[in-house]
Structure 1
Amino acid sequence: MDNLEPRFTLGVVIPVPQPQRETLRAWRREFGGADTEAIAPHITLVSGSYLNTWEKAVAQVRQVASSAASFTVQLGPARTFRPASEVVYLPLLAGAEECWTLHRALLSDALRHESGFAYHPHLTIAQNVPAERLDAAQAALHRIDLSFAVESIQLFDTRRGQWSLSEEITLG
């Protein structure tokens, strides 16, 4: 077996704390439909695969988290990735560089980020819905100013086709 081929799937995300989580969840419910409602609001750091063993992947995520300091994320007014992707999202006005640093550190060994798009820290509000809903989300959320402290990351096991929380890891 070739050890250079990804064999398993995982996700590493920044969870959004309360009360901001509930606010974002309501917006996602209103504009994003079933695809976004089932998943808690988050900022993805890595969505992909890992080589070798789950234990090695977990150890890498823990090591990266232990080396990172807490930081603040500030979300800004809704934007879209259209026409490249039918998504409305909230950009990071603060915290994007820290997300990039975490993303790069997580990919420094056996983790792989697998996406058809380049990494771009953001929080998805709506995707895979009619254009009218995307337009409504972008119009309604044009004056957003929402901040929260990032004190942990979450590791998900996605091998069975669902996101299953494996561990929440405190930064620092």
Structure 2
Amino acid sequence: MNDVFLSIGTNIGERENNLKQAVRLLQHQFEVINVSSIYETAPVGYLDQPSFLNIAVHVKTSKSPFDTLFTCQAIENELGRVRDIRWGPRIIDLDILLYNHENIEAENLIVPHPRMYERAFVLVPLVEIAPNFACEQLAQARQKLDTLDREKEGITQWKTIATVDEFVRSES
């Protein structure tokens, strides 16, 4: 089984419910091991939009990296993702951050995610759910997180999540 770490973000509609729906759909395709707390973050890139809610999710799968990407994109489509503005508002965004210990560079997939180390809204939840997962990329993420100014990055813990089941079953 492959260990995969995903980042999920949303800033349109019922944001917490969007995250829950995405995790529920992930559960149909993968073994969902852990979900981070929910973090609220200021937008990056395109600034004229609402704040995001972000989580990290650890899943196990027998799928290849490209099948995992296809599944994530299918979930985005099912939830109504529209790609109008780069870094713009979105109902849901699923990104593969890490796939095992692998480095992948293909036209449609780069792992580790190419901007992962620049974004506290990705690193904070990722490090939270992988405190004991040992790989070079996570060691680098932990080190980079120590140098980021979380307040300047506009990230705050919005809600603590105890378990995956609690998260997907709770009312928004």
TM-score (norm 2): 0.28
Return the structure number with greater helix share. Answer: 2
